C-alpha cells in the first residue's frame, strides 16, 4: 500500500485547514482567546487603547493560525509578545490584580505551548503513525 509523502507547512499554502489542526492548536487558540477577551474586557473598564490593541492582536493570531499563515512565525512573534504582556503588567504595578493574575497564568501556559509548537516545528506527536 503506497502512502503519500508528508507535506510541510510551506507546501500546504494558505487557507483554512481543519485537518492540519491538532488538539494542541485548539488549546493554543483557546488560551489566546481567553487572554484576548480579558484584554478587551479591561479596555471596556478603562478605555485604554493598548488593551484593545492587545486583544485584537490575540484574535488576529488565532485567525492566522486557523488560516495556516506562517504558523511558526506566529508562534515566534507570539512568544515575545506574550512575555511582554506579562512584563508590562508587572512594571505597571499589577493593575486589576485578580483578573490580572488569572490572565498572566493563562499567558504563562500559552508561552509554554507556543514554545513547544515552535520547537517541534508545529508537529506535535500524534498517535497516527
pLDDT in tens, 76-112: 999 999 999 999 999 999 999 999 999 999 999 999 9
In a domain, 4, yes or no: no
- State the residue for C-alpha cell 507570539: 78
- Domain with 63, as residue range(s), is 19-119
Phi, psi dihedrals of residue 95, rounded to the nearest 5°: -65, 160
**Predicted TM-score of the model (pTM):** 0.82
Residue 60: predicted pLDDT:
97
In a domain, 47, yes or no: yes
In a domain? residue 102: yes
Q: In the numeric block, which cell numbers belong to residue 119?
A: 520547537
Give every CB contact of residue 22 below 8 A, 6+ residues apart in sequence: 124, 126
Predicted confidence at residue 19, as pLDDT, reads 72
Query: Distance between CA 77 and CA 29 in Å, rounded?
Result: 15
Within a domain: residue 12? no
- Residue 89 in domain: yes
Residue 125 lies in a domain: no
CB 95 within 8 A of CB 51: no
Distance of CA 123 to the CA centre of its chain: 16
| pLDDT at res. 128 | 45
Residue 91 lies in a domain: yes
Mean pLDDT of the chain: 86
In this prediction, residue 101 carries a pLDDT of: 98
Q: How many structural domains compose the chain?
A: 1
What would the pLDDT profile of 28-41 be if each residue is shown by its tens digit?
999 999 999 999 99
Contacts of 19 (CB under 8 A, 6+ apart): none
The answer as to whether 124 is a domain residue is no
pLDDT above 70 (res 74): yes
Amino acid at each position: 500500500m503506497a502512502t503519500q509523502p508528508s507535506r510541510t507547512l510551506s507546501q500546504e499554502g494558505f487557507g483554512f485547514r481543519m485537518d492540519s489542526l491538532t488538539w494542541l492548536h485548539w488549546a493554543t487558540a483557546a488560551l489566546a482567546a481567553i487572554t484576548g477577551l480579558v484584554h478587551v474586557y479591561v479596555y471596556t473598564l478603562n478605555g485604554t487603547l493598548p488593551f484593545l490593541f492587545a486583544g485584537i492582536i490575540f484574535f488576529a493570531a488565532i485567525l492566522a493560525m486557523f488560516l495556516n499563515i506562517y504558523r511558526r512565525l506566529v508562534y515566534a512573534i507570539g512568544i515575545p509578545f506574550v512575555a511582554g504582556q506579562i512584563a508590562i503588567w508587572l512594571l505597571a504595578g499589577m493593575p486589576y490584580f485578580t483578573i490580572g493574575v488569572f490572565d498572566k497564568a493563562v499567558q504563562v501556559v500559552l508561552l509554554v505551548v507556543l514554545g513547544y509548537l515552535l520547537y517541534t516545528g508545529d508537529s506535535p506527536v500524534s498517535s497516527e503513525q
